[in-house]
Each structure stands twice: as structure tokens, then as C-alpha cells.
């Protein structure tokens, strides 16, 4: 469906007005420089967060998850096309399926790990799972969930089950972007797929696995095909494959990580490549770009808040947290 950008004018203006309250790098630095965890947590109340200064790690996780779910719920009635929201809610549906499949294989039942940020209520997903009615779930999700559950039962290898679900997730992401008929959304999904495949390649190569195993893990939808990436790894190397792309710096660091270098700088470069793409949306006065960028920026903010608060609570040095912080949207 073609997007009428005029439909996004009001919501885009609303989201622009919220940007000054979002977590900026300057605010994050002040939290890192605060005397202690409680002081850092209280600073977030100026950005609309509840007071988390007396919370445990688990309570912080729950509070941030609830905040994300509220953002999605609020935007449901505002965003002209639900696909824009679904691009970000989809991964939580797949997360819930992964949790249920693994818990079932281990004869466990921990509903606390389920997320309320997906398109489908976690209670509904769990009920469908318990009733052996996974195929009733929408899109690729139901079929992939049924296959992944059977695969884990046969192989006893949770990674293979995850690979299958990840492939289905990216196929759905591509379909959503196509449904939006948005070059920006297509570009975001392609960059996310490229980043995912780059991360996967680096981790698998560090583990000493072969190309066949890598090919099982790669997802579709990137600007660099799975075949090109596999061939490049066997030939000129990861850095050459991604040369001239937004992930060029990350790929160079990834190649160094494969040879024993640190993963921290590599992971950060992958994240920052996505953040840089999202920053371009600020040049658009209105349109689906601003909605997608706001949602991705919210995800980045929640990740940063979690990293800072749980790090400060655990006594992690501020410089250690700082070097892992990705670029922020605000």
C-alpha cells in the first residue's frame, strides 16, 4: 500500500516535540558521572521515566519493558499504517516463541521472560503454544514456530531452531517494508539484515565453525546476499565484502575480532551504523521516516538506560559502560 505522507504530518510533529526529553549523549554522560546509582536513576525522571532509584536489576528490566509496551500501545491509534509499528514489534513475537520452545524442551514454564511488546499478547501466544495451535499465529510466525519446535525436538540443538526463526523473522520484516512501500523502511531492513549477518559471521568464525554452518545461520534481505558473504569469507575476507557500505568500519573491526581482537568495538560499530542511518530521518520534515526513526531511537534509548543503570548498580566502572554505549538518537 502506498503511503500518503500527509497522514504522517500530525504524528511526526508530535514525535519531534518529544525529542528534547529523550536521552541524549550529554544526559547519558551526566548519569555516568553521577555519584552513584540512585543519583543516576533519578536523573531519568526528567525524561518521563518512573523513579527507578530503589529498584533491583529485575525490576529495572520490567520497568523498561513496560515503558516500551506503553510507547507501542500509544502509537497504535496514531500511526496511519500498523506496519510501521510492526517492524519493531515483530521481534518480540519471535522472542516469545523462542522462549516458549526452549522452556518446553527443558520442561520449564517461565512466563516472566515473555514480552508484552509484540503484536500478539504474550498470553495468547502461550495459549496457542499450550494448545498445539501454533499455526493459528499470523504471518510467517505460526508456520516457523511449528517447524522450529519440531526441529529442536529432533536435533536437541537450540541454535538451529533459532536460525530457522531468524530467517522467518527477516522474511516478515521484508514483507512489512514492502507493504509500507517505503524506501526508507526497505533500507532500514536491509541494513539490519546486513548487520545481523555480519555479526553472525564474526561470531561463527571466532567459534571455528565451517562455512556450511554459517550458511545455515545467515538471513535474507540484506544488500549483500548470503552467497556473496559466504564466498567472500572464503576469499578476500569480511572487510572486503563490506567495503564501501555503511558497515565498512564494523566489518574491518569484525575481521580483527575474528583474529582474536575485541568484540566490543565491533558490536558498537554495528550499532552505530544503524544509528547513523536513523539520524538521516531528522532531515525529513514528516513521513514514515520520522516514525521509524523515533521507534528505533526509543529502542536505543532503552538499551542505553538499561546498560547505564544495571552497570552502575553492579559497580561497573563508568569508563567501561561509556565505551559500550552506542550513538543515541536525541
SS (HEC) of 32-93: HHCCCHHHHHHHHHHHCCCCCCCCCHHHHHHHHHHHHHHHHHHHHCCCCCHHHHHHHHHHHH
Least confident window among 38-42, 52-56, 323-327: 323-327
Of 298, 315, 264, 322, which is closest to residue 29 (Cα–Cα)? 322
Domain-embedded: residue 234? no
Listed in sequence order, the residues at least 6 apart from 221 whose beta carbon sits closer than 8 Å to its beta carbon are 170, 171, 173, 174, 189, 190, 193
Q: Which domain holds residue 85?
A: 80-181
Asked, for residue 322, whether it belongs to a domain, the answer is: no
Examine residue 46 and state whether it is found in any structural domain, yes or no. Answer: no
pLDDT for the residue numbered 279: 73
Give yes or no for a contact between 134 and 125, defined as CB atoms under 8 angstroms apart: no
pLDDT above 70 (res 3): no
Number of structural domains found in the chain: 1
| C-alpha distance from residue 41 to each of 169, 258, 320 (Å) | 34, 37, 18
Is the model's pLDDT at 69 over the cut of 80?
yes
High-pLDDT (> 70) share of the chain, %: 95
CA distances to 68, 71, 112, 279, 282 from 62, in Å: 10, 14, 9, 28, 30
Residue 127 counted as domain residue? yes
Q: What is the mean pLDDT of residues 230-246?
A: 91
Q: Is residue 302 assigned to a domain?
A: no
Q: Mark out the alpha helices in 181-323 (DSSP H runs).
A: 183-206, 211-217, 226-234, 238-241, 248-258, 263-279, 288-313, 318-322
- Angle subtended at Cα 78 by Cα 18 and Cα 88, rounded to the nearest 5 degrees: 80
* Higher per-residue confidence, 171 vs 276: 171
Q: What is the pLDDT of residues 186-197, one digit of tens each?
A: 999 999 999 999
Are 202 and 266 in contact by the 8 Å Cβ rule? The answer is: yes
Residue 90 inside a domain? The answer is yes
- For the stretch 265-284, pLDDT in tens is 999 999 989 888 877 766 56
Q: Is 103 inside any structural domain?
A: yes
Predicted local distance difference test score (pLDDT) of residue 2: 46
**CATH value at residue 166:** 1.20.1690
Amino acid at each position: 500500500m502506498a503511503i500518503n505522507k500527509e497522514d504522517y504530518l500530525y504524528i511526526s510533529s508530535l514525535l519531534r516535540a518529544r525529542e528534547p526529553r529523550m536521552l541524549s549523549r550529554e544526559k547519558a554522560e551526566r548519569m555516568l558521572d553521577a555519584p552513584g546509582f540512585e543519583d543516576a536513576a533519578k536523573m531519568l525522571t526528567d525524561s518521563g521515566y518512573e523513579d527507578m532509584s530503589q529498584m533491583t536489576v529485575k525490576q529495572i528490566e520490567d520497568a523498561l519493558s513496560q515503558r516500551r509496551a506503553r510507547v507501542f500501545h500509544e502509537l497504535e491509534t496514531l500511526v496511519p499504517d500498523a506496519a510501521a509499528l510492526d517492524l519493531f514489534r515483530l521481534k518480540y513475537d519471535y522472542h516469545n516463541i523462542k522462549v516458549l520452545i526452549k522452556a518446553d524442551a527443558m520442561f520449564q514454564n517461565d512466563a516472566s521472560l515473555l514480552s508484552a511488546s509484540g503484536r500478539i499478547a504474550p498470553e495468547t501466544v502461550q495459549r496457542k503454544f499450550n494448545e498445539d495451535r501454533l499455526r493459528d499465529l499470523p504471518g510467517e510466525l505460526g508456520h516457523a514456530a511449528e517447524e522450529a519446535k519440531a526441529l529442536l525436538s529432533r536435533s536437541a540443538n537450540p541454535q538451529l531452531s533459532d536460525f530457522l526463526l531468524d530467517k522467518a523473522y527477516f522474511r516478515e520484516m521484508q514483507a512489512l517494508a514492502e507493504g509500507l512501500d517505503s524506501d526508507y523502511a526497505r533500507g532500514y531492513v536491509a541494513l539490519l539484515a546486513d548487520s545481523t549477518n555480519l555479526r553472525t559471521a564474526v561470531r561463527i568464525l571466532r567459534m571455528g565453525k565451517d562455512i556450511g554452518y554459517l550458511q545455515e545461520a545467515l538471513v535474507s534481505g540484506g544488500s549483500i546476499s548470503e552467497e556473496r558473504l559466504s564466498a567472500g569469507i572464503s576469499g578476500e575476507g569480511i572487510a572486503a565484502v563490506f567495503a564501501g557500505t555503511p558497515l565498512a568500519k564494523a566489518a574491518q573491526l569484525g575481521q580483527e575480532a575474528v583474529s582474536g581482537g575485541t568484540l566490543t568495538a565491533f558490536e558498537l560499530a554495528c550499532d552505530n551504523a544503524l544509528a547513523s542511518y536513523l539520524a538521516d530521518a531528522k532531515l525529513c520534515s514528516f513521513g514514515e521516516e520520522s516514525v521509524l526513526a523515533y521507534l528505533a531511537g526509543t529502542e536505543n534509548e532503552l538499551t542505553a538506560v538499561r546498560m547505564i543503570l544495571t552497570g552502575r548498580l553492579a559497580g561497573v566502572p563508568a569508563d567501561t559502560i561509556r565505551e559500550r554505549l552506542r550513538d543515541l538518537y536525541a
